[in-house]
Structure 1
Amino acid sequence: MTSDLDTLPKIGAPATRALHSAGYSTLRDLAGVSRAELAELHGMGPKALGIIQGALEEHSLSLGR
């Protein structure tokens, strides 16, 4: 799975809407954001968080703690 830092990875529609509503529109925007903060978003589940973390790791980035 190769991802682009200027787009969001392919996650479910509810999770994508939650990210957009919170002001995150690119993978780059998510680097360093705490996993707990993202988990609080309505529609964001463990599967979506795992996909995001994996996509960030492809670019030597990660979610915050």
Structure 2
Amino acid sequence: MSAEKTLRTCEKGHQFYKSSDCKSCPICDKESKPETGFLSVVSSPVRRALLSEGIDTLEKLSEHTQKEILALHGIGPSSIPVLKASLEEENLDFKS
């Protein structure tokens, strides 16, 4: 049985339905998605988690271990291969 969806309005006035307590607006998420770069190939929760930690470049990402990145809310094991591939394209890797 799924939770009941409720109508919400974000700070920008977008209206959307959500069944979870997550406050993110799907319309704002789409509007803020970059067209290029590694943040354009990850999901919105991953992008929000990284940006909330100030990780907006691959160089900054490479300063963290996989374990540190996985500890962020919104990032799961399936996002690591995508992030790792982006790092490898720039001859970078997660911190050991």
Alignment RMSD (CA, Å)? 1.7
2:78 is aligned with 1:27: no
2:65 is aligned with 1:39: no
Moved over 3 A (4+): none
Q: Deviations over 1:6-60 (max 9, x none)?
A: x535111001100011111122211131110000000101121111111111111
Equivalence for 2:89: 58
Task: Say which structure is richer in strand.
Answer: 2
Identify which of structures 1 and 2 has the higher relative contact order when contacts are C-alpha pairs closer than 8 Å and 6+ apart: 1
Partner SS state of residue 90, structure 2: coil
- Counterpart amino acid of residue 81 in structure 2: G
* TM-score normalised by L of structure 1: 0.79
2:41 is aligned with 1:10: yes
Larger Rg: 2
In structure 1, stretches of 5+ residues that fail to align are none
In structure 2, stretches of 5+ residues that fail to align are 1-35
Identity among equivalent pairs (%): 33
